[in-house]
Amino acid sequence: MASGEEKRNDKVERVLEEAVARETAVHGRRWAAQYGGYFNDPTVAAPFLDVIEDGLRAKAPDVLVDLGGGTGFVLAELMRRRKLPPGVRLYDMDLSDRQLESLPDPRIRPLKSSFLEFQRAAVAAGTERLMLITRSTLHYAGLAGQKPLLRHLRGQLRPGELFIHQTACNARPEDALLVDELLERLHSDKWLPPLDSLVRLCEEAGFRVARVADAPDLAMDEATLADRYGIAPGEMADIRARLGEAYADSPRWKAAREGFVVLLGYKILVCEAA
């Protein structure tokens, strides 16, 4: 009989798989154009890459894994910037075949896996040092999935090893409410925490949050949201009306000529396994 923890992990696994499956229409070649190219823009990615390179210099891992790395953009940019430790092995882990089929360089090894299925032994052996990174993925686990996901990732690291993630969150709770209501109305189980909650969750999972850095906002426009989440025009008009009334004074809500834009905040957290 499955334990309570196994049942919780199975539920989180289903949430992750369903979220990824829902978005496969924009995977592969279309991914680079999402939200104006945010996730394939070297300038936008630069703060995250800078923090990763600081971690690489400090820890000199033998293996670097990008969890939910999609089309391999982050790892490819690290290669292009030529600051990787000599001989480090690169893995792009993703659940989507279409994303992994788009990897830009043969030196980036594909690893088909979900977060909760990922095991250190799949990429690192013996005394090899491991570093994990991820950008804009933790929210896929939903509210109930954050604790088991973070605990699992901590379990794959040895003390002193790093997990560096750029995660959608907002410093002000009222901004988090706007984004979470938007996601709920898009029929998504994703959850974006306030920053202080994210830090606490990481610490409770067994990480020491050594650094919090800023990352550029993501402008989520109505047209892209409708396409990505499969929302019909009438329903999107209702969403626009509801959020426009409830959050008219929010600096994160912008009325636009073609619908609306919600500004999603990001922070980069350097988490060291305690």
Main-chain dihedrals φ then ψ at residue 174, nearest 5 degrees: -65, -30
Q: What is the mean pLDDT of the chain?
A: 89
N-term to C-term CA, the chain:
32
Residues 48, 149, 132: CA angle, nearest 5 degrees: 35
Main-chain dihedrals φ then ψ at residue 231, nearest 5 degrees: -95, 130
Q: What is the pLDDT of residue 273?
A: 98
pLDDT tens per residue across span 123-151? 999 999 999 999 999 998 888 889 999 99
Give CA–CA dist 12/18, Å, rounded. Answer: 10
Band of residue 168 on the pLDDT scale cut at 50, 70, 90: very high
Burial of residue 214 (number of CB atoms within 10 Å: 0-12, 13-18, 19+):
exposed
Q: Is the pLDDT of residue 181 over 60?
A: yes
- Cβ density class 75-90: b for 16+ within 10 Å, e for less: bbbbbeeeebeeebbb
pLDDT tens per residue across span 243-254? 999 999 999 999
The arithmetic mean of pLDDT across residues 41-63, rounded, is 97
Band of residue 107 on the pLDDT scale cut at 50, 70, 90: very high
Region for 111 from its dihedrals, namely left if φ exceeds 0, alpha if ψ lies in -120 to 50, beta otherwise = beta
Measured between alpha carbons, how far is residue 263 from residues 119, 195, 267 in Å? 34, 15, 13
Q: What is the pLDDT of residue 27?
A: 47
pLDDT tens per residue across span 199-222? 999 999 999 999 999 999 999 999
Give CA–CA dist 191/133, Å, rounded. Answer: 19
